[in-house]
Amino acid sequence: MTAMELRSTAFEDREPVPARYARDGENVSPPLDWSRPPPGTRSMALLCEDPDAPSGTFLHWLVTDIDPTSPGVGAGELPDGGKAHPNGFGDRRWDGPEPPQGEPAHRYLFRLYALPEGVSLPEKVTVADARRVLDTEGLATGTLTGLYQR
C-alpha cells in the first residue's frame, strides 16, 4: 500500500490533541487535510482509534464513502459524502478522547484509506473488522497520531 499524507492544523503528529476535541471538551472533530489519493481511488475512509484503551482498542470515529476529490475536513464536520458508522460509544459521529484520569497519555490514531470502491461493513463494526477490510482493500493510507491525557 502506498503512503498518503494526513495532517491537522490543530496538532502535529505525535503531539497532544487540544482539549477542545476531547469528549469532556467541546467534543468536535479536529480539522484534517490530506494529500491527493492515488489514481483509481473511488472512495475513502477515515477512522480514529485508541489502542491504549483499558478494554482494548476503542473506536472513536469511522467514516466511509468519503468523496475522493475532497482535500480534507473542517473541525466539527463530516467529510464530503461521508457516512458515519457507530463508534465505541454507540454514536454515529466523532466522540473524542476520554481516557481514564491519571493514566499516561493515550495514542489516538487517525487513519485515512484510499479505496478502489466503497466498502461494506457490518452495522456494529469493530475496529478489528474495519481495519481488516480497509487494510486489505486499501490502495493507500496515511496516519496521524495525537496524544491525550486527563
**Quick one: pLDDT at residue 62?**
98
Using one digit for the tens of pLDDT, what is the confidence trace for 24-60? 999 999 999 999 999 999 999 999 999 999 999 999 9
- With beta carbons less than 8 A apart as the criterion, state whether 29 and 96 touch: yes
CA–CA distance, 20 with 9 (Å, rounded to integer): 13
CA–CA distance, 99 with 120 (Å, rounded to integer): 30
Joined together, the cell numbers standing for residue 51 give 489502542
Average confidence (pLDDT) over 90-103: 96
Q: What's the total number of domains in the chain?
A: 1
Joined together, the cell numbers standing for residue 13 give 503528529
CA–CA distance, 35 with 42 (Å, rounded to integer): 15
Q: The domain that contains 25 carries what CATH number?
A: 3.90.280.10
Sign of CA dihedral 113, 118, 120, 123: positive
**Quick one: pLDDT at residue 124?**
87
Domain of residue 49, residue span: 2-148
Joined together, the cell numbers standing for residue 24 give 469532556
| pLDDT of 123 above 90 | no
**Quick one: pLDDT at residue 128?**
94
Residues contacting 33, CB < 8 A, separation 6+:
6, 7, 8, 9, 71, 72, 73
Assign 76 to helix, strand or coil. Answer: coil
